[in-house]
Structures are given as C-alpha cells and as structure tokens.
Amino acid sequence: MSDLVIDVHDLSKSFGNQRVVDGLTLQVRKGEICGFLGANGSGKTTTIRMLCGLLIPDGGHGTCLGLDILREPHRIRREIGYMTQKFSFYEDLTVFENLNLVASVYEMPNPHDAVESIMDRMGLMDRRDQLAGHLSGGWKQRLALAACILHEPKLLLLDEPTAGVDAKARREFWDLIHDMAGEGLTILVSTHYMDEAERCKRIVYLANGRIVVQGSAQDVSRQSSLIVFEATGNDVDGAARRLRRMQGVEAAAVFGRALRVAGTDRAGLERSVRAMSAASLSWNEVEPRLEDVFIHMLAVKEGPSRP
C-alpha cells in the first residue's frame, strides 16, 4: 500500500481569465510536515481547497488519503482537518460549546469525552467556559486546531495558521504540530514565516501557480545558486543603501549591526563588496538563509504581483 497521503498530478484552476494553479503536481508522504511557501496570489490557498474538496480542479487528477479528488470530495472532507486563515468559529459560544458543536457535526459516538480529551491536550481546560470572541489570537488558534483534529483526521491542511499571533504562541503551536506528526499525522501547512518553514521536513515553493523548487530547507538553499556575503561595522544602513544600486546586488538587508548582501552574479557581487571594504566593513561569505532564498525567488520568479 502506498504511503502517499497526497498524490495529485497536473492540477489547474482558473478564475475568469486568471490561471491561479497551473499544472501542479504534488506528493506528500504519511507523517510528513510539508511547508507551502509563495507570495500572495501564488496559488497556495487554491491548491489546499482543491485537495480538501472545496474546489473542483479545471484539470488534472489525483488522490487525497487514497480518495479521488474529483469523484469523492465529500469523503475526503470527513477524513481531513482544515484550518483556514481566518478564525471561523462562533465567537458568542464558549470554547466547550464550539467544540461540542464540531463533535455533533462529525456525529462522534462519545462527543463529551472527545471534547474533554481534546481540551486537555490543547491546554484549553481553564478556558472551557470562556467565550471564543474573548480569546487572544494565540488561544483562538489553539481552539481552531483543536476543532480540526477533534475527529482524529489522517491529514491536516493548515492555511497560514499562525498569522498575527506572537512568537511564543507560534512556537507552542509548532511544538503541537511536531508532536502530532510524530504520531503519524500528515500535515501540509502554508506560511510566510521563515523560521516555521525551516521546521518543515520538506518545503514546496509556488510561483504563479507552479512549483518552482522543493526539498529540505538545505536543498532549497543549494538549488537557489544564491551567493551571500555578510559584514559588520559602522554605518551598515548607509552601506546597504549604496550597495542596492551596485552591480550584482539583488538584496542588501540590515540585521542590527550586520549587513547581508545577496545575488547570483558572483563576479559582480564580489566587485561591489570589495568596493565597500574601505568603509570599515569586514566581509565574509556565508550560507544563504531560507529568508535570503525566499526574497530572491520573489524577485526573480514572481514577476508582477497579483492583486
């Protein structure tokens, strides 16, 4: 039996004259945490909605949890957990009432026990009688995740689940994700946070509805052919402004007292770095970070942004 939880080929989807997903082929294995990256409008959300049966592809074929995405979307929806970008539960119901409602929708045999169990696992017991609308962003996120996994799905689809929550809540959320993946749950998650992407086993980068590159964070960095130099010294802000206008420099970004410049034209980049060496800056070549690669791909692959 195949261990592919997602196995889709040549998916396409258009809205009017705009092709949003264009010939996308994707496989995700059991227990894998797969990160979906790309600019706004790159096709991430549309792809996720096709996988969970909320949108029918214009073209292509494949399976999700062994079920045909074209003929069995209703069965797929009962077997997956889908967390949308926007909090979508009833704000005038308590935490317990929201989860109890979800349990009834899935016709769970012991809804009360299931709700008690998931609240305990998600650390929601102390907030069981609190109105959802009064929760902070991090606790709303936990409630949404609890609702997604209450019926024990085999696949979790998360669409930018941590947007707008603080760093501590994001870390705790990802700790929960890794715990569940260790138990065999398969997770596809879209994110704009590079520290989150680095926690994924595999990254899939989309641009204009197509997969541009995929692999581990290290694989993606290597495939980018990006060259990065880092310097420390005085007036790194002024140096960054000058470097952005120089040959071979695709990006120049300041991080505290450090300056990072990146590009794929090694000769041009090295000339520009040498020209700045007299400005009390000490340069070293360093490995590209995922954020460097992401910005590079945005500039090179995306082209004009979509509205």
- What DSSP string describes 55-67? S--SEEEEEETTE
Do 44 and 174 reside in the same domain of the chain?
yes
Residue 245's CATH number: 3.30.70.2070
- Let me know if residue 99 belongs to a domain: yes
Cα 130 to the center of its chain, rounded Å: 29
Contact residues for 3 (Cβ-Cβ < 8 A; gap 6+):
29, 30
| pTM for the whole structure | 0.85
Give Cα separations from 237 to 231, 233, 256, 279, 295 (angstroms): 11, 10, 9, 12, 19
- Let me know if residue 197 belongs to a domain: yes
CA distance 219 to 206: 16
Compute the half-sphere exposure of residue 176: CA atoms within 13 Å on the CB side of its CA: 23
> In terms of residue numbers, what domain contains 96?
31-52+75-221
Domains in the chain: how many in total? 2
Question: What pLDDT does 277 receive?
Answer: 73
CA distance 76 to 15: 23
* 176-198 residue pLDDT tens: 999 999 999 999 999 888 888 98
- Let me know if residue 126 belongs to a domain: yes
Do 90 and 231 reside in the same domain of the chain?
no
Do 91 and 234 reside in the same domain of the chain?
no
pLDDT band for position 85 (50/70/90)?
confident
Do 148 and 183 reside in the same domain of the chain?
yes
- Let me know if residue 1 belongs to a domain: no
* 199-231 residue pLDDT tens: 999 999 998 899 988 999 888 888 888 999 999
Q: Are 118 and 99 in contact (CB under 8 A)?
A: yes
Let me know if 296 is exposed, middle or buried by CB neighbors in 10 A (0-12, 13-18, 19+): buried
Cα 255 to the center of its chain, rounded Å: 23
